[in-house]
Structure 1
Amino acid sequence: MNIHFPLKTVFASKKSKIIMGAVVAVLLSAGFYLTTANPLDTSIQSSSQEVLGVNNGPSVLKISGRDTQKTITSQPLEANHPFNAIAPMWEETRADNQNRTVEIRVSSDGTDWTRWMEIDAVKSVRGNDPMAGVTYMETPIFLEGSHFQYRVTLQRNSPDEASPRITDMKMTYLDSRKSGIQKATEAVSALGKKVFAANGGPNIVTRSEWDSPDPNGDKFQGDSPYWPPTYNDTEQIFIHHTVHSNQQSNPEEVVRAIWDYHAKTLGWGDIGYNYLLDHEGTIYEGRYGGDHVRAGHVRDYNKGSMGVAVLGCFQSDSSTCQELNDGNVTPPTDATLDSLSTLLSWKTTSFEIDPQTTHQFCDENGNNCLNLPTIAAHRDAGNTTCNGDLFYDKMDSIRQDTADKNSNNPWGYAARLTNFKVVDLSGDRSSQVTMEFKNTGTQTWSNSTNRMLLKTDSPRGEGSDFQGGDWLDSQTPAVLNENSVDPGQTGSFTFKWARPSGAFGRYYEGVRLVSENNVTFNNHYGTHLKVFCSFGYTDNPRPNGTIIRNPDNGKIFLLENGKKRHLTSPLAIRSNRLSSRKVVNITKRELSNLSDGDAIKIGEGTLVKQKSGNKIFIIDKTSSGYVKRHISSLKAYHTFDLDDAPTYQVSQRRLDSYSDGPAVYASSDIPDGLVFTSSDTHRIFRAEDGKKRYITHPNVLGSHGYKRRRDVRRVSQGKIDALTSGNSLSTLRTGTTVTTDDSPKVFAIDTDGTTDVRRYIVTPRSYTKAGFRWKDVMTIGSGMLENYDSGETVACHK
C-alpha cells in the first residue's frame, strides 16, 4: 500500500545518489492520498496466504484433551506464484519460543522437499509496530519454490494447564528476482557503483543502485503511519545476520526481498536496517534518512542505535542455516569482516563512539538499561540467536579491527549532525534554520579558503524547489558561519527553507557538506521536520465509529450517531470486534458535549462461562436488553459449530447481570449474533432478530470485524432454511476506511443521520487523529464506493 502526495509530480524528486547530507523533511499540510496499486514495485511480486482452516485443516492450533504435546503438520500447499523468499507469521496466546516450535519446508514441484527449517521468531522489533501482537520473522527465508508446508509443535507442563494457541497464521512469499533485461544492465549498475562513490568514506551501493522500489524514501510508505524519520544521536551499533545463504549469487535480490518484507508485509514503509553487507564485502544503503535515523532491528532499543545486517545464516546448529548452506555453515568471509570493520570505523569516527568500550544503553523510554559493548550483536539485547554463533565468535576481533583502523585517522573529512531541527511550513511561507555539525575528522574547515558549503544533495547539481531567499544559489543554501572549525569543534550553517506557491504534502529535501576543493563527505544525515494541522481547514465532526476517551475520565466510548456509547469492559470492546489500540484521547469538554447513548455490553453471539463453573452461555440482545442463553448440551454445541469459537471467562457477578434467555438446544434456531454458512452454499449470513441476513460481499464481512476462517460457523442447510430472510447486510461498517484501485483517495464510511456516506480524509494527521490505523485501510471496488453519497471531509483535529 503506497501513500503519496500529489504535488510530488510537480516538485519532482531530484535525488539520485545521496552521498552525504542532512535530509530535511519539509512537511506541508496536504490533500491525502493512498495508492494500493503500486507502480513502483511491479518487479517484486508479493502475496500473503492464510493457511489455517485450509483443506479441512484446523483453524486453531492447540493441544486437545489430556495431551501435553502436540505436533500439527499441514498438507502440502501450493503458492499463488513462484517465490524466492518466504516467511510465516501468526498470532499466539500463551505461546513463546519455549513451548512453541514452528517449522516450514518448501518445494519447487510439490515432490522434492527441503528439510524442515525451524523459525527464529520475534514479536516486534520496532516501536509503533503495525504488526504489534503478531509473531513474525525478522527477515524471510531466502529459498526458491512454489509449494510449502508448515509444522507446529506445542507443549505444556501438565494436562491441567491451558494450551498454547496459534491463530491467524499466514504465509508470505515474494519474488524479488529480476528479469533477463534487468540482469543485462547489472554490469552498467556495477560500474555506476564505482563512478558515484564519494571520497569521504567507503563505497556504498545506494538504494537506487540496488533497485529499491523507493530509492528516495518518498514514494512507498507502507501500511503504517509511513514511519516518518526520527533522529537521535547514535550511541550504539547492533550487528545482525539474515536468513539467507552465506554465498548469494545475487545479493541485491536479497536486499530487495528484505525491503519488500519489511516495507509491505510488516507495513513499516521501509527496510529495518541502516546498512547491509554481502559475502563479497559490498555495503548497501538501508533505511532512508541517513545517519542517526531510527530504524527497526532490536525491539525497544532502536532509539540511538544503528543496525547493520550481514546477508547470511551463521548459527551452526540451526536447521534453517544448515538447509540454506547445504549442510556447511561457515563464518562470514574475510571480505565481509574487513568491509564491516571499515564501515564501523567510519561511523564510530563520525559518531565519536569508542568501539572497544562498554556502556549503559537504555530502552526507548529510558528504562531496562543494559551494559553492552558499543558494537554488540542482536542477541545481546534480544531473545534471539542473531547474529549466529559463528558470527558472534568474531565480535571481539571486529571491535579490535575497527579500533585499529580508527587509530590510523583515515577519515579526514567527517562530521556529526548535532541538532535535529523541526521545520513546519504549514503556515509561514519560510522558516530560518541553523544546522550544526561537529567536525569529527582530521581536517580544519574554513569559510574563506576552500570554503565549507552546505549544498543540495543531487550529484547532478540540481537545485531545490524549497530554495529560500538567502541562498547563495539554487544549489547552495549556506556557507559555514564560523571563520574556521578545527577537529572536535562545531560549525553551523544558517539559511531559510521556503514553501513553493501551491505546494502541499510531505517532502524530503537533502543537503550535503562539500568543500570548494570538491571533497564531499560520504555521510548522509537527516533531520525530521513535522507537519501540524492543515491551514485553511477547520475541525469537522469526528467520524462515527471512532473509539474515544478522556484520560481523566478513563471510560472508553464508541462514537455513534453523534452520541457516546460506553463500552463497559475490555471484553465489550473485543467481542464487538473493536480495537482498544484505536482509542483516541479527547478533551473533557468535547466528551461532555456528547450526549449519552445506550451502553455497549458483551456482543451478541459471544460465548462466556463463569470462572468457577462449567456452563457455557451465548450472549443475545433482545428488545428488552442483553440476555444470556445456556447452551444446553454438547450436541447443541456441535450443531452450531462452536467447538473452536473463543469462550471467555467472566465473573459470577458479571454473568448475573444478564437475564436468562431461552436455552439453546440442538433443535433451536441459529442463535442471534452468529455468522454462518453451510457446505451446500458459498453464501454467508448473520443471524439477527431470528432472521438470516445475507452478507453480500467479503469486504462487508471484513469491515464488520469478521474473519471467514475464524468466525464463520458451518451449520446444516436445514438450519439455514429454517430462518426467515431479512434485509441483506450490504453496507460497510461505520468507521471503515477505504480506497479503490483506480483512485488514490482515502475515505471514511460514516452516516449523516439518514444515510451512509463517504467522507474524504484531507490529511495524514486527520487520519491518525481520528484513530484510524494504516493497516486497516480496505481496498474496495469503485462501484461499491459510488454507492455512498459524499459527506463532509474529515479535517484535522487539534
Structure 2
Amino acid sequence: MRGFIASSIGVACAAALSLPLALSSGVGAATTPSAARALTAGAISGSTQSLPLSVLPRDRGLRAPGEQGLTQRDVHPFSLVGVVWDDPAAALEGRVQVRTRATGTARWSGWQELETHNGDHAPDPGTAEHDSGRLRGSTAPLWVGASDGVEVRVRPQAAPAHQAAAPAANSAAQASLPKGLRLELVDPGDEPPPGGAPAEGPRTGALTAESAAASAVNADLAPLGADVIPALGKKETESELIEARGGEADAKVSPYIGPRPRIVTRKGWGADETLRERTFVYTTKVKAAFVHHSATGNNYTCSQAPSLIRGIYRYHVKSLGWRDIGYNFLVDKCGNIYEGRAGGVAKPVKGAHTLGFNTNSMGVAVLGTFGTSKPSAAAVKGLARLAAWKLGLYGVNPSGKTYLTSAGGNLYRKGKSVRLNVISGHRDGYATECPGRLLYNKLGTARSTSASLQGR
C-alpha cells in the first residue's frame, strides 16, 4: 500500500514498458464484427456501428414534425445502443426511443426510452479532455442484449405557442434537435478467457504494454495481470494503511477505514486497453463520492455485467470522445465492484462523471436505471463497502460533509465553494435526475453503513 496516493506512476509505466517487445504487440479494436472475430485467440474484440439519422416521413400524421430516426433495418450484431450528436453543449429537447430485434429471431422489443444526458456526465471545462475537440453530446446508452435489428425515433418537443403560430412551425420544431444525430450500436466483444490467474500468480505473457501499465498501478494490491484485487479483513486493511502512513509511529491510532472489498480489475472485465489514452490523470485527493446510475436499464444478469461495462467503456471513448470510461468504479446488482477509469483503484484518478466536480472526487455508477425501480440491497451494500474503504484511505468520514470547488456547470458557477455530503448523488452537483429517485433515496443508508464499516 506504500505510495497509494502518489500522483505519478512513471516507475510503474517504465516497468510495464520494459516487458519483452513480443508482449507489447497488442491488437487494435476491430471496426466490424467480422474483423473482431478474426482477432487472435484470447483478444478482446468489439465494434461500433455509427448510423446517421434523417428526418422521417410524416407517415399519415403519426410522426411529429421534424422527427428524425431510422426505420426498421438489419444491422451487424450489437448489445448496447445510444444516440450522439456533434455539439456536446447542445441539449436534446425531446424523446429518444429505440426498439430492437433479438439476434436470430423475428421478435422485436417494445419501444424503450433512452435517457438524455445533456452535458451532466462530462469532463470538467478547461481540462485537456474537455477541450480535445473530440467530445460529442449523447444520450445514456441502453443495454438491449444480443440484437441484429434496430429502429429509432427522436421526437422534438412541441414548439412553443409563439413558434407554432408562425408559418415555419414545422422547421422550428425540427431545428430544436441538435445537428449530426447518429445512432451508435456497440458490440462489447468477447468475454475474457475464464479461470482468472493461476494460484502462483498471473501469466504476464498475455499482457500488452497498455494492459501491463493499467495493471501495474495496482501492484501494491494484487500481482501484475490479476483479474481481481482480493478482499481484505478490517485488521489487515488497517495495517496496510498504517504502513502507508509511516508505520509504527501511528500504530497506536486505529484508522477509520472499512475492509478492502473485492474489486474486479480492468483485465478481469476485459478492457481493451488500446482504446483509451495511454497516460493517467490524477487529482490531489478524494474528498467525496458522487453516486450515479448508468441508466442502461435493468435487463442484465450479473454474468453479463463485464460485457455491459465493456459496452459503456467503448461508448464513452469511441462515441463520446472521452479519454477513458468516465466512472471510477461500477457496481452491479449483485454487489460486485469493478475498477473503472485506469490509473489505480487506491489512487485519486480524475474521472469524467459529474460536470464541474470531477476534481477531488470519485464517481461510482450502479449499473441499472432507478427512477422507478429499486436498487438491490446487494448493490447498495457494495456501494457502501467501496466508499468505506476508498474514502478511508483519505481520512474521510462517509457520513460527513465536505467542500468542493465548482469548475462550472448548470447549478454552480466556476470557482464557487460548495458544501456537499461526502456521499452525494449526481443531482447534488448538477441539475439531473441521476442517480434516479429510488437510488438517491438509499444514499442515507449507504452513508450510515459505510461509516459503520469504518468503525465510526
TM-score (norm 1): 0.40
Task: State the SS of the aligned residue for 1:122.
Answer: coil
> Which of the numbers 342, 348, 354 marks the counterpart of 1:298?
354
1:104 and 2:98 aligned = yes
CA distance in 2: counterparts of 1:281 and 1:18, whole angstroms: 28
> Which has the larger share of helix?
2
CA contact (8 A) 1:273 1:296 kept: yes
CA distance in 2: counterparts of 1:293 and 1:93, whole angstroms: 23
Task: State the SS of the aligned residue for 2:453.
Answer: helix
Question: Structure 1 stretch 110-119 or stretch 271-280: which is displaced more?
Answer: 110-119
| 1:292 CA displacement | 1.0
Task: State the SS of the aligned residue for 2:351.
Answer: coil
CA distance in 2: counterparts of 1:18 and 1:266, whole angstroms: 36
CA distance in 1: counterparts of 2:182 and 2:2, whole angstroms: 37
1:76 and 2:72 aligned = yes
1:51 and 2:103 aligned = no
CA distance in 2: counterparts of 1:209 and 1:133, whole angstroms: 28
> Which of the numbers 116, 140, 143 marks the counterpart of 1:141?
143
| 1:407 CA displacement | 2.5
Equivalent residue letter for 2:309: V
1:314 and 2:317 aligned = no
- Which runs of no fewer than 5 residues in structure 2 stay unpaired? 15-24, 30-38, 203-225, 238-259, 409-413
Aligned to 1:212: 271
Alpha-carbon distance change, 283 to 262 in structure 1, aligned in 2, over 3 angstroms: same
| 1:257 CA displacement | 1.7
1:230 and 2:282 aligned = yes
Task: State the SS of the aligned residue for 2:267.
Answer: coil
Aligned to 1:389: 437
Aligned to 1:25: 10
Alpha-carbon distance change, 302 to 152 in structure 1, aligned in 2, over 3 angstroms: same
Aligned to 2:82: 87
Aligned to 1:167: 179
Alpha-carbon distance change, 50 to 42 in structure 1, aligned in 2, over 3 angstroms: farther
Aligned to 2:378: 335
Higher Cα Rg: structure 1 or 2?
Answer: 1
Equivalent residue letter for 1:167: K
> Which of the numbers 322, 336, 354 marks the counterpart of 1:282?
336
> Which of the numbers 113, 118, 121 marks the counterpart of 2:113?
118
Alpha-carbon distance change, 350 to 272 in structure 1, aligned in 2, over 3 angstroms: same
Task: State the SS of the aligned residue for 1:399.
Answer: helix
| 1:113 CA displacement | 2.0
> Which has the larger share of strand?
1
Equivalent residue letter for 2:74: E
Deviation digits for residues 400-448 of structure 1 (CA, Å, limit 9, x no counterpart): 111222225xxxxxxxxxxxxxxxxxxxxxxxxxxxxxxxxxxxxxxxx
Task: State the SS of the aligned residue for 1:86.
Answer: strand
Equivalent residue letter for 2:270: D
Alpha-carbon distance change, 188 to 262 in structure 1, aligned in 2, over 3 angstroms: farther
Alpha-carbon distance change, 359 to 69 in structure 1, aligned in 2, over 3 angstroms: farther
Aligned residue runs from structure 1 range 353-432, under 5 A: 353-364=396-407, 366-407=414-455
CA distance in 1: counterparts of 2:89 and 2:396, whole angstroms: 41
Alpha-carbon distance change, 337 to 246 in structure 1, aligned in 2, over 3 angstroms: farther
Aligned to 1:203: 262
Task: State the SS of the aligned residue for 1:76.
Answer: strand
Deviation digits for residues 196-226 of structure 1 (CA, Å, limit 9, x no counterpart): 5555322211222222222xxxx5435xxx5
- Which runs of no fewer than 5 residues in structure 1 stay unpaired? 1-16, 29-33, 317-328, 409-798
Alpha-carbon distance change, 314 to 184 in structure 1, aligned in 2, over 3 angstroms: same
Deviation digits for residues 702-744 of structure 1 (CA, Å, limit 9, x no counterpart): xxxxxxxxxxxxxxxxxxxxxxxxxxxxxxxxxxxxxxxxxxx
CA distance in 1: counterparts of 2:65 and 2:152, whole angstroms: 17
Aligned to 2:298: 245
CA distance in 2: counterparts of 1:123 and 1:86, whole angstroms: 17
TM-score (norm 2): 0.67
| 1:82 CA displacement | 0.7
CA distance in 1: counterparts of 2:85 and 2:228, whole angstroms: 43
Aligned residue runs from structure 1 range 577-592, under 5 A: none
CA contact (8 A) 1:44 1:260 kept: no
Equivalent residue letter for 1:260: R
CA distance in 2: counterparts of 1:195 and 1:134, whole angstroms: 34
CA distance in 2: counterparts of 1:145 and 1:351, whole angstroms: 44
| 1:94 CA displacement | 10
Q: Could you tell me the percent identity over the aligned residues?
A: 24
> Which of the numbers 156, 171, 181 marks the counterpart of 2:159?
156
Task: State the SS of the aligned residue for 2:445.
Answer: helix
CA distance in 1: counterparts of 2:146 and 2:326, whole angstroms: 23
| 1:92 CA displacement | 6.3
CA contact (8 A) 2:5 2:348 kept: no
**Number of residues paired by the alignment?**
355
CA distance in 1: counterparts of 2:146 and 2:438, whole angstroms: 25
